Amino acid sequence: MTLILGIDPGSRKTGFGIINQVGGKTEYVTSGVIRVHKEPNMPARLDLIFSSLVGIITEYGPHCMAIEEIFMGRGPDSALKLGQARGVAMVAGTQSKLEIFEYAARKVKQAVVGNGNADKDQVAYMVQSILKLPGLPQEDAADALAVALCHNYVHTGLINIAGATRTRRGRIV
């Protein structure tokens, strides 16, 4: 079995989702959203993202982390905030000795929906369908599960997406 932790980072909400690839089947394990907007300041928000992710990794023991590369259509201030959350999420993984895999959002959509320009509703719908969930997952959790599914497809050789970078303890493998 291979447990994959997908992450959709954000400075207010960070989505996470874990799937399990076992015996040719892909199973849903857990997902949710780390909400930090009530924390009084940015260091406290980032600390909560880090601690929550370390807690999730400790509880579920995923084998790797998949995270979206970020398309920066917004301004530098948003990029800085998003970068802070994303950096903290990645280090929660590296400090837990997880391999980190990065995928462009377009490639995640291509893998899960079959269309690199799919909208968020389509992604959530396909995530629900593939993982046989009883309802639509929350938006950030759906995006996190989607990047985990994308990694799973690449990892199991179902599709081959150019450009994913695989690292292990700081080395490309």
Residue among 119, 166, 173, 169 nearest 146 (CA): 119
Q: Please say if 143 is a catalytic residue.
A: no
Could you tell me where the DSSP H helices lie in 12-165? 42-60, 76-95, 105-113, 120-130, 139-155
Could you tell me where the DSSP H helices lie in 64-138? 76-95, 105-113, 120-130
48 binds its own copies (CB under 8 A): yes
162 binds its own copies (CB under 8 A): no
Whether 68 has a binding-site annotation, put simply, is: yes
Q: 101 - beta bridge partners?
A: 66, 166
From the list 1, 41, 58, 132, which residue makes contact with its own copies (rule: CB under 8 A)?
Answer: 41
Return d(Cα 15, Cα 52) in angstroms, integer.
Answer: 11
75 binds its own copies (CB under 8 A): yes
Residue 151 amino acid letter: H
For residue 114, the minimal CB distance to its own copies (Å) is 28
For residue 54, the minimal CB distance to its own copies (Å) is 9
Please give the residues from 113 up to 152 whose contact with its own copies meets the rule CB under 8 A: none
Specify whether the CB–CB gap between 60 and 30 falls below 8 A: yes
Number of residues that bind its own copies (CB under 8 A): 41
Q: Please say if 77 is a catalytic residue.
A: no
156 binds its own copies (CB under 8 A): no
18 binds its own copies (CB under 8 A): no
Whether 8 has a binding-site annotation, put simply, is: yes
* List of residues 6+ apart from 146 with CB closer than 8 A: 6, 17, 108, 109, 111, 112, 123, 126, 127
Residue numbers annotated as active site: 8, 68, 140
Binding-site entries for Mg(2+): 8, 68, 140
Residues lying near its own copies in the complex (CB under 8 A) are found at 39-44, 46-48, 50-51, 70, 72, 74-88, 90-91, 93-95, 100, 102, 165, 167, 169-172
